[in-house]
């Protein structure tokens, strides 16, 4: 048995270390270490409840809107307030902008550069993909970054600024939209749609989102120009549709009033989501041993624990390991193409990438509808008064999956605040029952060692880790 330590891994924020036990050239077991701890949950205790809106976006510079939205939802739940229709539409548009921008960035900058590695120089597709996606010098990045920058101007019209906008409030959005701004928003969406259709897909969003089976996907990709069809060609050659399977238990909180919430596993109908079934196990984290629901949870450092190997807690749903993310959202919602792929092969690198593409194709047209449905002269935000004693839960979907905030208010101050981020679900360590987290499961059986192809890297990055959110 040989031990290999890989890291830092990701190309997003924070660090990630993966310890592999390798036997006969394959991963026998994996342990995932999230080494960064900052203590945001402790920082919030004793503060005014509204302070969460200013503090939690600082957890992360790439998903600050998602953190803001979860905090606003928790405060709204505690206060019992409702958003006006414009406020809900604005929330959807703001969250979708950040999430879709993340999907595009992940594909072009975080994931695809691995296909330009010299290890693939003998593959038939290498000469096409390497100059296009090579890190820093690839030809794909400039056009993508320009399209992303234009798309992100939506945040300026809808939320005033990014990151760390304070426009998202429990009662809605404080940034009202004018009729002229709506016209500009629709123009920006049109430009982003053009980039997706001309460069990423090589087809209309509607045609791509209508694909309903693995066979239909293969037929669609054959001979088609576009960056994603090029990925599908390479992925098929590497059999990535059969690589990176975890538990095949998928969880989603639901998103944008467009995607359903629930829990799904093969051959079982979607179960309704019950937040009270969520718990956090700290058996192998450098935290005081605990296995409580987050509403009762605490974050107490125990840096000398002998069996710990990460700062990351182990979230579980009804004691089960579950995967979160775009794939989970689409499978829970019954998207036929993703359901077919998962039924055929289980979760995989290809399925996770495909799910992000499906969301781009489905959500951009939805954003166009939401912008048209907003009524500039109507209210965007309802007044909110925070109670002295209350509890609240804010459940949203970030780009990488299910994000939850649990808030307790006592004597007008935050008494407890707990956060479970998407990467906490996917990169969790073993729990008290010895169950490995999704990534730890997905790495078992993969080739590893000096002579191995970068398959481990593909699997890790298919989850798109954001480590600063993981342990916050």
Mean pLDDT by 10-residue block, N- to C-terminus, for the chain (472 residues)?
Answer: 73 76 92 90 96 93 92 97 96 97 96 96 97 95 96 93 86 93 97 98 98 98 96 97 96 96 89 96 95 93 93 96 98 97 97 98 98 95 94 98 98 97 96 97 91 90 87 86
Which pLDDT value is given to residue 14?
61
Cα Rg, the chain, nearest whole Å: 22
Which pLDDT value is given to residue 148?
97
User: How many Å apart are CA 29 and CA 455, to the nearest integer?
Assistant: 15
Which ranges constitute the DSSP H helices of 296-348? 326-333, 336-345
For 108: left if phi > 0, alpha if psi spans -120 to 50, otherwise beta; the answer is alpha
For the CA atoms of 348, 350, 355, 358, the dihedral, rounded to the nearest 10 degrees, stands at: -160
Residues composing the chain = 472
User: How many Å apart are CA 336 and CA 215, to the nearest integer?
Assistant: 12
Q: Report the interhelical angle of 214-221 vs 227-238 (nearest 10°).
A: 120
How far is residue 38 from each of residues 262, 413, 465, 467, measured CA to CA in Å? Answer: 31, 21, 17, 11
Backbone phi and psi for residue 281, each to the nearest 5 degrees, phi listed first: -100, 130
CB atoms within 10 A of CB 121: 10
If you ran DSSP here, which 8-state letter would residue 62 be given? S
Domains of the chain (ranges, CATH numbers): 2-471 (1.10.645.10)
Distance of CA 409 to the CA centre of its chain: 28
| Sequence-distant (≥ 6) Cβ neighbours of residue 127 within 8 angstroms | none
Which pLDDT value is given to residue 10?
61
Backbone phi and psi for residue 141, each to the nearest 5 degrees, phi listed first: -60, -45
Strands 259-265 and 250-255, sheet pairing: antiparallel
| Sequence-distant (≥ 6) Cβ neighbours of residue 195 within 8 angstroms | 143, 144, 147
Contact 350, 240 (CB under 8 A): yes
pLDDT digits (tens, 9 = 90+) for 335-354: 999 999 999 999 999 999 99
Which pLDDT value is given to residue 267?
79
- Name residue 119's beta-bridge partners: none
Which pLDDT value is given to residue 465?
87
């Amino acid at each position: 048995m040989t031990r290999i330590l890989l890291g830092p891994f990701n190309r997003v924020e924070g660090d990630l270390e993966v310890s592999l036990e390798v036997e006969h050239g394959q991963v026998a077991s994996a342990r995932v270490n999230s080494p960064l701890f900052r203590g945001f949950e402790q920082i919030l205790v004793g503060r005014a409840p509204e302070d969460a809106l200013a503090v939690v976006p600082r957890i992360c510079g790439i998903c600050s809107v998602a953190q803001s939205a979860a905090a606003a939802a928790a405060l709204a739940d505690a206060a019992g307030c409702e958003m006006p229709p414009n406020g809900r539409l604005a929330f959807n548009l703001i969250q979708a902008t950040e999430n879709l921008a993340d999907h595009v960035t992940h594909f072009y900058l975080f994931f695809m550069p691995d296909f330009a590695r010299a290890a693939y120089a003998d593959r038939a597709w290498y000469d096409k993909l390497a100059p296009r996606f090579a890190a820093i010098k690839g030809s794909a990045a400039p056009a993508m970054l320009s399209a992303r920058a234009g798309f992100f101007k939506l945040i300026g019209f809808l939320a005033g600024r990014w990151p760390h906008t304070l426009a998202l409030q429990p009662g809605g959005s404080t940034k009202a939209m004018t009729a002229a701004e709506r016209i500009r928003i629709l123009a920006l969406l049109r430009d982003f749609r053009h980039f997706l259709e001309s460069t990423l897909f090589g087809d209309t969003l509607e045609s791509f989102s209508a694909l309903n089976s693995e066979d239909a996907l293969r037929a669609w990709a054959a001979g088609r120009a576009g960056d994603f069809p090029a990925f599908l060609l390479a992925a098929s050659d590497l059999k990535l549709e059969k690589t990176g399977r975890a538990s095949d238990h998928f969880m989603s909180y639901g998103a944008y009033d467009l995607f359903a919430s629930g829990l799904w596993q093969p051959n079982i109908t979607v179960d309704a989501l019950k937040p009270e079934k969520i718990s956090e196990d700290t058996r192998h984290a450098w935290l005081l041993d605990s296995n409580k629901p987050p509403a009762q949870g605490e974050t107490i450092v125990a840096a000398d624990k002998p069996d710990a190997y990460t700062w990351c807690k182990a979230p579980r749903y009804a004691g089960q390991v579950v995967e979160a993310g775009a794939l989970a959202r689409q499978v829970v919602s019954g998207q036929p193409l993703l359901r077919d792929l998962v039924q055929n092969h289980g979760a995989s690198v290809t399925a996770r990438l495909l799910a992000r593409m499906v969301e781009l194709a489905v959500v951009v047209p939805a954003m166009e509808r939401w912008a048209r449905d907003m009524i500039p002269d109507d209210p965007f935000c309802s007044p909110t008064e925070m109670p002295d004693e209350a509890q609240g839960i804010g459940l949203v979907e970030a780009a990488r999956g299910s994000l939850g905030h649990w808030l307790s208010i006592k004597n007008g101050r935050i008494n407890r605040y707990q956060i479970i981020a998407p990467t906490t679900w996917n990169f969790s360590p073993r729990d008290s029952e010895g169950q490995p987290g999704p990534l730890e499961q997905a790495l078992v059986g993969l080739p590893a060692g000096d002579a191995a192809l970068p398959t481990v890297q593909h699997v890790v990055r298919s989850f798109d880790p954001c480590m600063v959110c993981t342990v916050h």
